Chains A and B, each alone.
Chain A
Amino acid sequence: MSQPRCIDPEKIIPISRSTTGVFKTGTWGGHFPEYREKLSTCRGACPAGEDIPSYIALARDGDLEGAFYKIAQENPLPSVCGRVCYHPCEQDCLRRDVDEAVPIHRVERFVGDYGLDNLSFPEPIKSAGAAVAVVGSGPAGLSCAYHARRLGCDVTIFEERELLGGMMRLGIPAYRLPRAIVDRSVAMILATGIKTRSGFRLGDAGTWEELDRFDAVFLALGAQGALTPPFPGIELSGVIGGLEFLKQVNMGQRSEVKGSVVVMGGGNTAIDAARVALRLGAETTILYRRSRQEMPASAEEISDALREGAALLERALPVGVESANGDLKITCARTEAGNADESGRLSYAPLEGSEFTLTAGTLIVAVGQSVEVICGGGRPAIGPQPMTVEPFLRIAGQNYFAGGDMAPIPRRLCDAIASGKLAALSMSAMIGGLDMETIWSRVNVGRGGAFSMEEYLSGKESPSPRLKEAVTAAQIKPEWLAGSPRPEPSRLSAREAARGFDEVVGDPSPEELAASCGQCVTCGSCIGCDRCYLFCPEIAVIPPEEPGGAYSGNREYCKGCGVCAAVCPRGVITMGEGT
C-alpha cells in the first residue's frame, strides 16, 4: 500500500536548502552586519608590529616553520625577545578581561628557538643597488641590517667590539639571555649576506669619511654613558656604574665583587646588577627613592631578585659616600613624596634628619644612561642627549639616521628592534626617492609607531584591515573562551638560580606551547570558524569559497538580527548602521 501524502516525510514539512523561504526578510532590517577584520590589541602594543595572532595560530596548528617566518617578517630576534622583551603585547591582551593574558612571549621563545635549530632566513631576492652602513650591532643595528638586506641593500655593520650583539651581550646577564642564543641569532642574521667590520670606533674624521661613502648610514650606538648623581664620594674606587658593572661581568673581566653591595636605582639595570652581585656571592641591598610599585623595572624581575635574596629598601637614597677602613660608608636618607614631575611620577626628595648609614664594599649606581659623546667633526653631534631625528628617524638634511637607545624612544629591546626596522624602510625610501608619509599611511599598525614590513613587501595598495582599527574588549565574546589557567613556565628555584648564571626561566615544553596557544582567541582575525554561518537563523551568511576568504551576507534575507555578530568570538563581525 502506498503511503498517503500526509505521512510522506518528504512532503509533510517545508525544508529550504538555500534560503529561509518566501519572506525576503532582508527588507526588515535597518542594521546589517559588517565583516571586517581588525587589529589585535597585542599587535597594536608591539613596537615591532609582530603579527602575533597569526603566528600563534600557526604554532597552534603545528606549523612552527610558518610561525617563525611570520615573526621574522617583522623581527629577526624572536629567541631573544621571547626571553627578555618585557612583552607590552601581554599588557594589552584582551584576555586579561577574562582571566590572564595569553603568554605570548613563551610562544615567541618556542618558535624562535625552533627557528634557530632548524631554519635560516631567506636570501634577499632583489637588489636595490644601494649600500648602507649600520654603526652598532645591538638589537637596533641588527634589526636595521636584516631589514635593509631584505629590501635589497648591500649592508655593512660597523662594530667596535669583536662580538656583535651590543647590549644583548654587554648589558643583559646570561641567566636571562644565554650567550649561545645571542651568538646563533647574530649568525643567522649575518647569513643573509651582511658584511661586518669590527674594531670600528666612530670618532675621528677618517671614520666619518668611511661612512660617508654609503648611500645611507644608520647610527645605533646605544646609550652607554652612565648618569651619575652629584653626591660627594661618587668618584671613590668602590663606586661603579650599573652598566659598567654588568659589562665587566658579562665580558668576563670581573668574577667577584668586593664586600656587601648596595645598588642604587629602580630600573632594569639596577635589578640586573643586584642579581649579578648576588650571583658573585655578595649580600645585596637595592635602594630606591620611590616605592616598589613605582619601580620602572619589570615586576617579574624585581620579585625574582627578592626571591634570590636581595633586600629592597624603598623610599631611600644615598646622599654621600666616604671611604672607611677599606669599606664604603654610605650615608643614606629617607625620602618623602612631593609633587608629580614631568613624567607624571611623584618626585621624592631626601627627608631632613632621616639620615642613616650603610656599610658596604661596593656601591653600584644604576640611575640611568646617557648617549656617549662622540666628536662630530662637522657631522651630527652625538651625546649626551638623545639625537634629534625626524619622525622616520632621519637626521635632518643628512643621509644619516639614528635609532635604538641613542634616539628619543623608550630604551627597551623591542623599541630598539622597531627603530632598526623603521630606519631600514626610511633609508630605502630615501634612496629610492619614495615618500615615507604615503608608505606610512599604508603600512603603519594601529595608531602607534609600529608598522608592518610584511605589508610593505606585499606591495598591496589597500592596507589590510588587520593593521588599522583595533578590536575592542566589548567586541570579543569572553563567554566563548576556554577557561584554562595561564600555564606557568618552569624556572630554577631561587637557591639554584642565585648559584650561577644558568638560565632561570626554562624552555617551554610542547605541552606549554599548546596550552599557551590555546588561550589565544585570535581576536580581530577571522579563522573561518563558521559560527556566523551556523548560527544565522536566515541562512543569510555566505561562507567563503576558499579557506581564508571573507564571509559575506545575503541581503535579501539578512534581517539584521545581529546573531552573527553576537556569536563571533573575535570581533570580526560587528553590526553597522543602515544599508
Chain B
Amino acid sequence: MKKFITGNHSVAEAVRLCRTQIVAAYPITPQTPIYEKLAEWDAKKELGGMMMRVESEHSAMAACLSASLAGARTFTATSSQGLALMHEMLFFAAGCRTPVVMACVNRTLAGPWAFWSDQTDTLSERETGWIQIYCEDNQEALDSVIQAYRIAEKVLLPCMVIIEGHFISHFMEPVEVPDQELVDSFVPPVAIPNRFDVDNPGFAVPVVSQKEYFHYRQLMQEAMDYSLGIIAQVDAEFRETFGRGYSLVEAVQMEDAELALVTTATITSTARVALKRLREKGYKVGLVKIRVFRPFPVKALREILDGIPRIAVIDRNISLGREGIFCSELKAALIHSPAPHLVQGYVAGIGGTNVDPELIERIVADALARKEATDGPIIMTEES
C-alpha cells in the first residue's frame, strides 16, 4: 500500500512489519518520531513487540544487546549525541555478535548545538563492528530496515540503517509499505542464538587472553567480509520479492564516463538531477552512490571505477584534520587500481546546509578542469 509518510515513519513501519520483539530507545531529535510512532502503536496494542523504557541511549543499547543475547529481535534508534553516548555499547553489541538493528538519523554533533543533517555522527562509529547502510530516500529507509534484519541475523553482526536528519527523517514522500504477508515471507521467524540457558548457565563474553581477543577480532573481520556477499544476496532476493533493490554500490551512466561523481545518501538524489543537466550539456559524467559503508565494498567500487581517470567525491561529513571520510576510504580502496586516478574530495552540506544541483555542477566543473588533486578537501558552500 502506498502511503505518504516521513522517513522516520517509514522506518517505524518496517520495524513493525519485521515483528520486532523488543524496542528500547530514548528520544532525541530528529529521531524521536520513530520512537513516538512505535510508542503510539504500542499504546494501541498494535506493535506486537514490547517497548522498554530506558533512561539513556547507553542503556537502550545495553538492553537491546542483552535481549538479543537472549534470542530476541531488537530495535533501537538514535541520533548524534545519543549515538555518541552509546559508543561504548556499540562495541559491546558487535563483540557479543548480537544482530541488533538500529536506525540512526544523522545529525550534527555539538558544539555548537544544532539539529541538521551531517554524517559525522555515524561515520565516527565505523570501527565499532556495525554494518552501516546509508539511505537515499524514505522508501530505501523502509526497505533497508527489512533487509537489515535478514543480514544481521545471518551474519550475527549488528546493523545500522542510516537516514539523514530532516531531509529523510521529516520529509514526506510516497512510500510503498509492503503487506505483512510479503514481509513475513522475506524475514523468517526469529532464530537468534539464545545465550541464556538456565539449565546450562554460563558467562557470556568473559575476560579472555590476548590471543583469544585477537582470535575473536579476526572472526569479526571475517564476518564483515562474509557479510558483503550476504548483503548483496539479500538485496537480490529483496528485488525478486518486492521489485526494488539497491545493491552495495549503484552506478549511473558510468559506461562512457570520464568523471565519476561519488555521493552518498540524499546528495545522491540531487546529483541525479545535476547529472541529467550535465549530460545534456555534453559532459561525460557518471554517478556512483555508495550505499554500504561497513563493510566497505572495495571490489564493487573497483569494478566500476578502475578505469575511470577522474573521481569527485562529495562528503557531508568531515574528519577534522583530514578530509571527507568517504573520500579517504575511497582513495584507500583504489590504491591497487591498475592506473592512478585523480581523486578530488569536496566537503559540502556540513551542518545540514543545502547542496543544490548548481553546487554539484560547480563541483563537476572544478573536477574536470583540475590538473591535479589537492591533498585536502575543497570546501564547497552555496555562496562560493
* From A13, A16, A23, A539, contact of B97 by CB (8 A): A13
**A230 at the B interface (CB under 8 A):** no
16 more A-B residue pairs beyond the given contacts A12-B156, A17-B201, A19-B206, with a C-beta to C-beta distance below 8 A: A4-B222, A5-B219, A6-B155, A6-B222, A6-B226, A7-B226, A12-B97, A13-B95, A13-B96, A14-B208, A16-B203, A17-B202, A21-B206, A22-B207, A25-B207, A539-B203
Let me know if A11 is at the binding interface, CB within 8 A. yes
The CA of A182 and the CA of B36, in the complex, are separated in Å by 68
A15 to B204, CA, bound (A): 4
Within 8 A of B (CB), among A14-55: 14-17, 19-23, 25
- With CB as the reference atom, state the residue of chain A lying closest to B210: A22
**Interface check A9, CB cutoff 8 A:** yes
Complex contact B203–A21 (CB within 8 A): yes
Mask of B186-206 contacts with A, CB within 8 angstroms, 1/0: 000000010100001111111
Report A-chain residues with C-beta under 8 Å of the C-beta of B209: 22
- On chain B, the residues within 8 Å of A23 by CB distance are 207
Instruction: Determine the distance from Cα of A299 to Cα of B222 in the docked complex, in whole angstroms.
Output: 76
> Are A4 and B226 also in contact (CB < 8 A) when A9-B156, A14-B212, A22-B212 are?
yes
Q: B203 — nearest CB in chain A belongs to which residue?
A: A16
Residues of chain B lying within 8 A (CB to CB) of residue A6: 155, 219-220, 222-223, 226
- Interchain CB contact under 8 A, B226 and A21: no
Given A14-B216, A15-B202, CB of A20 within 8 Å of CB of B207: yes
Whether A20 lies near B223 (C-beta < 8 A) is no
In the complex, the answer to whether A16 meets B223 with C-beta atoms within 8 Å is no
Residues of A within 8 A of B (CB): 4-7, 9, 11-17, 19-23, 25, 539
Flag if A21 contacts B216 (CB, 8 Å). Answer: no
A residues less than 8 Å from B204 (CB atoms): 13-15
Whole-angstrom distance between the alpha carbons of A11 and B220 in the complex?
Answer: 11
CB closest chain-B residue, reference A4: B226
Do B156 and A21 touch (CB < 8 A)? no
B87 at the interface (CB under 8 A from A): no
Chain A residue with the shortest CB-CB distance to B98? A13
Flag B136-161 by CB within 8 Å of A: 1 or 0 each.
00000000000000000011100000
Q: Please, how many angstroms separate the alpha-carbon atoms of A162 and B223 in the complex?
A: 93
Q: Which residues of B contact A17 (CB under 8 A)?
A: 200-203
- Distance from A240 Cβ to chain B, minimum over Cβ atoms (Å): 70
Q: Which residue of B lies closest to A537 (CB)?
A: B203
- Nearest B residue (CB) for A12: B97
Residue numbers of B with Cβ under 8 A of A are 95-97, 154-156, 193, 195, 200-209, 212, 216, 219-220, 222-223, 226
Residues of A within 8 A of B195 (CB): 13, 15
- Known contacts A7-B154, A22-B208, A25-B207: does B226 contact A12 (CB below 8 Å)? no
Nearest Cβ distance between residue B231 and chain A, in whole angstroms? 13
Determine the residue in chain A with the shortest Cβ distance to B219.
Answer: A6
In the complex, the chain B residue whose C-beta lies closest to that of A533 is: B201
- Complex A-B: 10 CB contacts under 8 Å: A7-B154, A7-B226, A9-B193, A11-B219, A12-B97, A13-B97, A13-B195, A13-B216, A16-B206, A22-B209
Quote the shortest CB–CB distance from B51 to chain A (angstroms): 25
Q: Which of A6, A17, A19, A23 has the most CB of B within 10 A?
A: A6
The residue of chain B having its C-beta at the shortest distance from the C-beta of A22 within the complex is B209
Kindly provide the distance from the CB of B384 to the nearest chain A CB, expressed in whole angstroms. Answer: 47
Query: Measured between C-beta atoms, what is the minimum distance from B9 to chain A in Å?
Result: 33
Most buried by B among A5, A13, A25: A13
Number of contacts between A and B (CB, 8 Å)? 65
Nearest Cβ distance between residue A10 and chain B, in whole angstroms? 8
CB of B88 to closest CB in A, whole Å = 17
**A71 vs B208: C-alpha distance in the bound complex, in angstroms?**
53
* B206 with A20: CB separation less than 8 A: yes
For residue A25, which residues in chain B have a CB less than 8 angstroms away from its CB?
Answer: 207
The answer to whether B208 touches A21 (Cβ under 8 A) is: yes
Complex-state Cα separation, A356 to B68, whole angstroms: 83
**Shortest distance in angstroms between A554's beta carbon and chain B's nearest beta carbon?**
12
Q: A20, B156: Cβ atoms under 8 Å?
A: no
Residue ID in chain A nearest B220 by CB atoms: A6
Chain B residues positioned under 8 Å from A15 (CB to CB): 195, 202-206
Partner of B216, one of A4, A12, A16, A19: A12
Give 10 closest A-B pairs by Cβ, nearest first.
A6-B222, A21-B206, A9-B193, A6-B223, A20-B206, A16-B203, A17-B202, A23-B207, A22-B209, A16-B206
Contact of A14 (CB < 8 Å), options: B155, B193, B206, B220: B206
Contact status B208-A5, CB under 8 Å: no
Q: Which of A7, A21, A22, A539 contacts B223 (CB 8 A)?
A: A7
Cβ contacts under 8 Å, B226 to chain A: 4, 6-7
The answer to whether A7 touches B155, judged by C-beta atoms less than 8 angstroms apart, is: yes
**Cβ-defined contact, A20 with B216, below 8 A:** no
A23 to B212, CA, bound (A): 12
Docked CA distance A376–B195 (Å): 81
Q: Return the chain B residue nearest A14 by Cβ.
A: B208
**Complex Cα gap A7–B155 (Å):** 6
Greatest chain B CB density within 10 A among A12, A21, A539 is at A12
Chain B residues whose C-beta falls within 8 Å of the C-beta of A11 in the assembled complex: 219
B202: A residues at CB distance < 8 A:
15-17
A11 to B223, CA, bound (A): 12
Query: In the complex, A251→B76 CA distance in Å?
Result: 78
Could you tell me if A5 and B222 are in contact, using CB atoms closer than 8 angstroms? Answer: yes
A23 to B209, CA, bound (A): 8
- Closest CB-CB distance, B158 to chain A, in whole Å? 13
Question: Distance in Å from the Cβ of A1 to the closest Cβ of chain B?
Answer: 11
Q: How far is the CB of B268 from chain A (nearest CB, A)?
A: 31
Residues of the B chain whose Cβ atoms lie less than 8 Å from the Cβ of A539: 203
| Residues of the A chain whose Cβ atoms lie less than 8 Å from the Cβ of B205 | 13-15
Find chain B residues with CB under 8 A from A20 CB: 203, 206-207
Minimum CB–CB distance for B226 against chain A, Å: 6
What is the minimal beta-carbon distance from B340 to any residue of chain A, in angstroms?
34
**Could you tell me the distance between the alpha carbons of A12 and B195 in the complex, rounded to whole angstroms?**
12
Knowing A7-B154, A22-B209, the reply to whether A12 touches B223 (Cβ < 8 A) is: yes
In the complex formed, the residue of A with least CB distance to B156 is A7
Docked complex Cα distance between A7 and B219 (Å): 8
Distance in angstroms from A530 CB to nearest chain B CB is 11
Residue numbers in A under 8 Å from B220 (CB-CB): 6
Q: How many angstroms from the CA of A219 to the CA of B155 in the assembled complex?
A: 85
Closest residue on chain B to residue A21 by CB atoms: B206
**Min CB–CB distance B203 → chain A (angstroms):** 4
* Bound Cα distance from A19 to B95, whole angstroms: 20
**Which residue of chain B lies nearest to A20 when distances are taken between CB atoms in the complex?**
B206
Q: How far is the CB of A9 from chain B (nearest CB, A)?
A: 4
* Alpha-carbon gap, A25 to B96, bound state (A): 21
- Within the complex, the shortest CB–CB distance from B273 to chain A, in Å, comes to 41
How far apart sit A19 and B201, CA to CA, in the bound complex (Å)? 11
| Distance between A339 CB and nearest chain B CB, rounded to angstroms | 58
Min distance, Cβ B298 to any Cβ of chain A, angstroms: 18
Chain A hits for B212, CB < 8 A: 14, 22
Residues of A within 8 A of B207 (CB): 20-23, 25
Q: How far is the CB of B121 from chain A (nearest CB, A)?
A: 28
Minimum C-beta distance from A5 to chain B (A): 7
Q: Report the minimal beta-carbon distance from A23 to chain B, rounded to whole angstroms.
A: 4
Q: How far is the CA of A12 from the CA of B222 in the complex (A)?
A: 11
Chain B nearest CB: distance from A100 CB in Å? 31
Residues of B within 8 A of A4 (CB): 222, 226
Residues of A within 8 Å of B201, CB to CB, are 17
Q: Which residue of A lies closest to B222 (CB)?
A: A6
CA distance in complex: A476, B59 (Å): 28
> How many angstroms from the CA of A127 to the CA of B193 in the assembled complex?
67
Contacts of A12 in B (CB 8 A): 97, 156, 216, 219, 223
Shortest Cβ distance from residue B297 to the other chain A in the assembled complex, whole angstroms: 18
